[in-house]
Amino acid sequence: MAIAYLNGVWQALHEAKISVLDRGFMFGDGVYEVIPVYDNKVFLLNEHLKRLSTSLSEIKIASPMSVEQWAALVLQAVEKGGETNAMVYIQVTRGVAEKRGHLWPQDISPTVLLTVNAAPGLTRLYSTIAIVPYSMVTMDDFRWKNGHIKTTSLLAAGLIKNEAAALGVDDAILIRNGLVTESSSSNVFVVIGGAFVTPPKSRLILHGITRDHVLMLARKSSLVVEERDIEEAELFSASEVMVTSSGRELWPVGSIDGKKVGDGAPGVVWKELDKSFQAYKETL
């Protein structure tokens, strides 16, 4: 059952309501986290909560809970949701103001929303996953310069994703000043010159939890790992391209701008890392 925790009250998701004066609704003035649950086990909870804390700090919202309280709430949500595989969504906005205005009110409390939704596509059975590589296009990264904040203001990402869909592809790889940043909601990796490469952390990209986990797995393998700038041209000389996110884990890219990546199929490096990712989930 899809459930929600809204400001201290558990209820069915469809019954959860907020004021039209909530600054999250009015301004996108809030942040969020999405946390996978595999076989009732929460994946990388501490890392997600640390990033939530960072995002709140960046937009000057005092966290309404301690890390321990957040962790307990997430575990309670998983239990109440009763889903084997699920996505836990946390959203914190600045709260409800008496009137609309750009200045932050000083006497309001944050709105806290947590939801649990079934995610049957998340599985621990590696052999049951149908792997169809993404087709992608390159697009200009016109978003704001604070991409490291996981904000609820996702209009730009929506525009990019929908433009890609209108072109008949799955998503876009974004380019800023000739360099790869990320996808609309994923971090980007390439295999080139024998190295496993991803753009370094900066204010221009989300500091992905799955990104960091995949880098850890890669460093434990025999792969040469590099965090460095990736030029747009390198996308088309790479033997493999892949993206990472909480919802899709590690996913191969089969074509970019109509040109095949490698032979268009999941590559050797992707297979090795995905196998390690699935094996790690079995240890939870």
Give the domain ranges of the chain.
Answer: 3-122, 127-281
Over residues 10-51, the pLDDT tens digits come to 999 999 999 999 999 999 999 999 999 999 999 999 999 999
pLDDT at 202 over 50: yes
Dihedral of the alpha carbons of 136, 137, 138, 144, in degrees to the nearest 10: -70
Q: How confident is the model at residue 120 (pLDDT cuts 50, 70, 90)?
A: confident
Query: Residue 48's closest CA among 32, 61, 29, 62?
Result: 32
Q: Which pTM was predicted?
A: 0.95
Q: What is the mean pLDDT of the chain?
A: 95
Q: At what angle do helices 209-220 and 45-58 cross, to 10 degrees?
A: 130
pLDDT at 117 over 60: yes
Q: How confident is the model at residue 124 (pLDDT cuts 50, 70, 90)?
A: very low
For domain 127-281, give the CATH superfamily.
D-amino Acid Aminotransferase, subunit A, domain 2 (3.20.10.10)
Instruction: For residues 74 and 89, give the distance between their C-alpha atoms in angstroms, rounded to a whole number.
Output: 9
Q: Annotated catalytic, 259?
A: no
Over residues 151-176, the pLDDT tens digits come to 999 999 999 999 999 999 999 999 99
Domain 3-122 has CATH 3.40.50.970: no
Q: Average pLDDT in the 185-191 region?
A: 98
Q: Average pLDDT in the 49-55 region?
A: 98
DSSP class of residue 67 equals H
Catalytic residue, from 50, 80, 150, 161: name it. Answer: 150
For residue 114, list its beta bridge partners.
5, 90
